[in-house]
Amino acid sequence: MTVECKNTIISGVTDVLVGDLSATEQTATSLGATNGGVTLTAAVEKTDVVVDQSLLPIRKIATSAGYTLAIPLAEITKDNLAKVLGLTIDSNNIVTLVPEEYHQIWIKTKGVVNASGKQQVRTFHFPKVAFIPNGELNMSRTDQQTITLEASVVNCPTNGSNVEFMSVTDEDPQ
């Protein structure tokens, strides 16, 4: 059994929105500026297929896959810090741990240029993610300060279809 990891950088990010499972893109909250694009990592577990007629495995088959998002947030707000650390911070600055919650994430990027010469907006939508608490806070005097929000993408069958973990849409500018 082997695990292969492949990273895809989603660049040209113009906004990252987060909302609960009942939210729409219009009611979701912006996480503010990002730094360096969003990384989508696919970790695919593969198993060798062996047969009696060969001393070596004849192929590998995928047995499972896990997807994670890493969003480097340039705006270290109290709300963003709480999301990254897996906490809630109330109006009295009381900090509590939160149980695992599911959210939706929309990543808006610059899309392709359409036939009219206008740049479209490409939206990556992840309908179900769980934030992964992460204590990593990168701060230095020379580099930009960022915190990385990590989320595990949950594969969830919807409307009787197969697993839907992401959708990508392109919209013309209005």
Mean pLDDT (the chain, rounded): 83
For 92, the 3-state DSSP assignment is coil
Looking at residue 124, its pLDDT comes to 92
Structure tokens at 121: 């907006």
The string over 11-37, giving b where at least 16 C-beta atoms fall within 10 Å of a residue's C-beta and e elsewhere, is eebebbbbbeeeeeeeebeebeebbeb
pLDDT tens by residue, 97-140? 888 888 999 999 988 888 888 888 999 999 889 888 876 666 55
Looking at residue 146, its pLDDT comes to 75
Looking at residue 63, its pLDDT comes to 80
CB 107 within 8 A of CB 38: yes
* Separation CA 64–CA 58 (nearest Å): 19
Structure tokens at 105: 């994430």
Q: What is the mean pLDDT of residues 45-63?
A: 87
The region, left, alpha or beta by phi > 0 then psi within -120 to 50, assigned to residue 55 is alpha
Taking the C-alpha atoms of 134, 140, 144 and 149 in order, what is their torsion angle to the nearest 10 degrees?
0
Name, in order, each residue with C-beta under 8 angstroms of 117's C-beta and a sequence gap of 6 or more: none
Helix (H) or strand (E) holding 65: strand 59-73
Looking at residue 88, its pLDDT comes to 84
CB 49 within 8 A of CB 58: yes
Looking at residue 143, its pLDDT comes to 60
